Amino acid sequence: MAKSKAQPAKSPAQGRAEEGAWSYQALYRHCQPIGAGLPPDAVQACRADPRLVLVNVKRGVAAVLGTKEQVKAVREHLPRIAVDELLELPDLARALLFAVREALPRAAGPKEIEKALKEIGGPREDLLTQAELFARRGLLDRERVAQIRAGSGKYDMARDGMELAALFTQHADELNGLHPFTREKIEQLRRTSEWLLENLTPAGARVEVKKKDKTAADDAA
C-alpha cells in the first residue's frame, strides 16, 4: 500500500477557502508568534479602529484580488507582488481585531464584584480589629486606624483593605510575631482590594457618558 505524502500546512487564507473560516482566536494564535518576532523598531502602536481596518482591508483585497482571474493576472503581469501575503491580509486584520479585544480590560460584572467583596470582608474586619488593638497599645497611629474604621459602603470597604495591607506592611518589623496574619494573606487582601478600587465607582464620581458605537459597516459607509 502506497504511503500518503505529507501535506504541507495550509495558510489561514487557504484554510478559510477550503475548510471554512478559521476562528479569530485561531488566526490570532497563528499571527502572534510572527508579530513577536518583529524587531522593536518595526512595531507601531495601532491607533486605527480595528473594525474599520477589517472592513477596508477586505474591500481593498477584494477589489484587486477578488476573483481567480484577477489573481492570475496579477501573478502573470506583476510577479514581484507577494500575492499570497496580500490574500492573507483580511485574516491578519481579523487577528488584530481579536488582539485588541484581548488587550482591552473587560468591565467586571456584578457577580465578580460581589465575590471579591466577600473575599476581603472577613480579612478586612480581622485586620481592622487587630489594628485597633495595636493602636490602643500605642503600636499603631490611633488617628490613622480610626480613619480606616470610619465610613461605609463597598468602595470604602475596598479602600480599607488597601490601607490596612499598607499599614501592616509598613510596620511589619514592629508587629512581627504579634498577630496571626501571614504576609501572603495581607498581600492577597491588597491585590483584591486594589482590584475592587479599579472596578467600583465611588459616590460623587462623574457620570460616564455612554455613546452608541457605530458598527464598522456604518463607519465605512
Instruction: Show me where the domains of the chain are located.
Output: 12-35+45-103, 110-199
- Residue 72, pLDDT score: 93
Q: Grid coordinates 483584591 are at which residue? A: 192
Q: Could you tell me the pTM of the whole model?
A: 0.51
Residue 185's CB is within 10 A of a number of other CB atoms, namely 15
pLDDT of residue 205: 39
**Per-residue pLDDT, 1:** 41
Percent of the chain with pLDDT over 90: 54
Looking at residue 221, what is its pLDDT? 41
Which parts of the chain register pLDDT below 50? 1-10, 15-19, 204-209, 211-221
DSSP string, 10-63: PPHHHHHHHH-PPPHHHHHHHHHHHHHTS-GGG-----S-HHHHHHHHHHHHHH
Quote the CA–CA distance of 18 and 10 in Å, as a whole number: 9
C-alpha cell at 127: 485586620
pLDDT, residue 202, reads 63
Nearest Cα to Cα of residue 90 among 15, 8, 36, 38: 15
Closest CA to 159 of 133, 208, 120: 120
Question: What is the pLDDT, as a whole number, of residue 218?
Answer: 46
pLDDT tens digits for range 40-97: 888 887 778 888 889 999 999 999 998 999 999 999 999 998 999 999 999 999 998 8
> What pLDDT score was predicted for residue 106?
66
